[in-house]
Structure 1
């Protein structure tokens, strides 16, 4: 199983590389709905005002959800 801290770190790393790396963020409300085994998964990051909503999923099954606050 992949530890939740590594999943959150991956979202933070994507944020830092693709978005605004100089702005600090806070992690909020991450929910781990299913166990995540090592492998490749799809993800979404959608910005809405000062919140980036994160979702990790496999096909139609949502595995992890959470927010990054700007």
Structure 2
């Protein structure tokens, strides 16, 4: 498996050969400013709901570790409100855990805006 640090942004990782191997998925989540949800959340000052961010991670988790079922979320922290737009993310799979991080564009070397863990289920 190639070194994840040398992978281009948005490139999907190779699928690990065995369920216990670690893998990395990185890319960009796009929260469309034209989505009608922002008319209510919140008028004049749109904010991406935390549930929408977590849902994006769960969906990406199904790609990162297809032999596992993303399940419980754990310790998700939001350090800032997210306005609609594009945000780089990274998920690292280690066994039954997906470690999730999301940054402000161009700030991937700084403190993430969102961190959390998704616990997965699946046969050994």
Q: TM-score, normalised by structure 2?
A: 0.51
Unaligned stretches of 5+ residues in structure 1: none
Q: Which residue of 1 aligns with 2:118?
A: 68
The structure 1 segments of at least 4 consecutive aligned residues displaced by more than 4 Å after TM superposition are none
Unaligned stretches of 5+ residues in structure 2: 1-46
The structure where strand makes up a greater share of residues is: 1
What is the total number of aligned residue pairs between the two structures? Answer: 70
Provide Cα deviations, 1:23-68, integer angstroms capped at 9, x if missing partner. 2421111001111110101101001222110001111241100000
Q: Which residue of 2 aligns with 1:39?
A: 85
Compute the RMSD of aligned alpha carbons. 1.6
Q: Distance in 2 between matches of 1:34 and 1:21?
A: 33
Q: Which residue of 2 aligns with 1:28?
A: 74
